[in-house]
Amino acid sequence: MIVFLLAASSSASDVVTPTRTLRPGTLITHADLTVQDVDRTGMFDRIEDVAGQEARIALYAGRPIPFEAIGPPALINRNEIVVLHFRAGGLSISTEGRALERGGVGDRVRIMNLSSRATLFGFVQPDGSIKVTQ
């Protein structure tokens, strides 16, 4: 007689969790984080990957931090006046606009061109300007 035994195994792994509740917009520091052995995968496993980022949603103490819950710190805030850059072919236009939402480096944000009042989309650049997309 042959008997096959199937057993479900749960593999615990190290995941980064906050030591306290962090509100959206909070800059996350090393002191705010700890590593716990939890039965979850697909979460951050190194404190270095989370420290220095900004909470995009509320992060609760002891709960794993999902990848989409954090991002780069905001360089621009809502209603802030920013420089807009548009380049296509040999044409280059720069003007001022108003940010309609917060954003960090690489984030796609809505902005309003102050001259035309048109609403546009662009990507936040490391210098705080916006590269307007077509």
Do 134 and 88 touch, CB atoms closer than 8 A? yes
Query: Tell me: the pLDDT tens digits for 46-88?
Result: 999 999 999 999 999 999 999 999 988 999 999 999 999 999 8
Question: Six-digit token pair at 123?
Answer: 């990507």
**Strand-strand pairing, 103-104 and 74-76:** antiparallel
Main-chain dihedrals φ then ψ at residue 111, nearest 5 degrees: -140, 160
pTM for this entry? 0.67
Do 44 and 32 touch, CB atoms closer than 8 A? no
Closest CA to 19 of 57, 54, 53, 65: 65
